[in-house]
Structures are given as C-alpha cells and as structure tokens.
Amino acid sequence: MKKKLIAGNWKMNGGLAANDGLVRGLLAGLASAPSCDIAVAVPAPYLAQVQALTAGSPIALASQDVSAHASGAYTGESAAGMLKEFDVRYALVGHSERRQYHGESDAVVAEKARQALALGITPIVCVGETLQERESGHTEAVVKRQLAAVIHVNGHCISEIVVAYEPVWAIGTGRTASPEQAQQVHAVLRAQLAAASAHADRVRLLYGGSMNAANAAELLAQPDIDGGLVGGASLKPEDFLKIIAAAQ
C-alpha cells in the first residue's frame, strides 16, 4: 500500500524569520518516522534556507514551479537542473494560479512535467475546473483534457508523477468539494491513468481544494484520495500537523 503524501504549498508567503519558525514548529511536532510522506513547496528565494532547515528530516522540499526549458534566455525561470541542486524532490506544475495568471497551456504544463521527470524530480501535476465549468457539467472533460496532455508527452513514465485535483472554485475560497465530489473526480482520473499505464496504481492522487484540519480526515478516507495539496493551512504548524496526523 503506497504512503499518502501531504504537500504544503506556501504560495507567495514567507520570510526568513517566518520560515524558520514554521519549519521548526513542524519538525517539533512530527513523529520521528511519520507513516505518510511530507513536502513543502516554498518560494524560490527560500529554497536554500528551507533545504538547510529540513536536512535529514522527514520533510521533502518542493518547488512551486519549474521551467519548461533546460537552460537559456528565460529570465526569471528556474530550470529543473537548478532545482535539483537544492535537493528539490517535487515540483508543482500546472497550478491553477499559473494557468490563470500566467496563461500556461496544457502543452506547457506537460513539458514542465517532462523537464522535472528528466532530472528525477517528481512533478505534482495540478488539474481542476472552474465554477462555471462545473456548473456547465464539464468537470470530467476539463480534468481529463488537462491530464491527457501530460500523458501524451510523458507516457512511458506517467506512473512516476503525482496528480493533484484542485477544483479552482475551492482554492482559497473556504469552499471545499464534498468528499463524494472529490472522490468522483479522483476515480475518473484513476481510470484515465489505468488506461495509460500498467503501473497506474503507483500514482498518488491528491486533493487540493481548501483541505484543512477540520475536513482532512473525511477527504483522506476516500478510496482514491492518496493525500492533499494544502494551501493556507500549511502556513500554520498546528493545522498542518493535524492534516499529517489524519493521513497516518
């Protein structure tokens, strides 16, 4: 049985002092050998700091993005090879905020996943629908299209990715998909992966829409939810530790 994965996405939050307090608070509250995997996706300027703070601990380092290019004239971007030098284990790709604010297409997301995989970094591929798409009955079509692009480009190693379902309407809004709604979409994604790979059972599917200390246990109890991509609650050690405990 694969371990659950609880990944915190700090988004554009933090500072040297705040990061130090947050990570030390997490480490103080963690069991020496937690039964789930844990990661924190931190802003790029703080990768070195958090790498040092988490060295030798159960907390893996994740980046919030990765370039679709290996090197070159791409000002402001971070290549997978650069991230690897900071012991980055996971990289978020296709987060809804990147798709919405930076115009990232399905093709770009797929290429970012390919770049990460090429360097041994596990991409956490984010998929999800807007409220309008859900109300129009297009949820399944949207998430399947987004995942299909990644499968097309990375077919032979698709079993090495992580997929995060993050309904856009539930990110940072306080609204959460019900466990039944989340499970329904996760089951669709699981079936799509199974059709693409004989090793699809290795892929962990995370729920990423306002998971918090109060709803984590019920969401994580669903058969196709293998963890969480946690936003705001990951900035509060007590809340994040409760979510980790729910995944044990």
Cα separation values, 2 from 36, 77, 224, Å: 9, 33, 12
Give which of 167, 245, 162, 150 is closest to 205, Cα–Cα: 162
Six token digits for residue 238: 């007590």
With H, G, I as helix, E, B as strand and everything else as coil, classify residue 220: helix
How far apart are alpha carbons 135 and 62 in whole angstroms?
33
Kind of pairing between the strands at 122-127 and 162-165 = parallel
Say if residues 189 and 129 touch (Cβ distance below 8 Å): no
Which stretches does DSSP call E strand in the chain? 5-9, 37-42, 59-63, 88-93, 122-127, 162-165, 204-207, 227-230
All residues at 6 or more sequence positions from 162 whose CB lies less than 8 Å from its CB, including other chains: 5, 90, 122, 123, 124, 125, 203, 204, 205, 206
Six token digits for residue 16: 């040297």
Catalytic residues: 95, 166
Strand partners, 59: 38
Looking from the CA of 149 toward its CB, the CA atoms found within 13 Å total 20
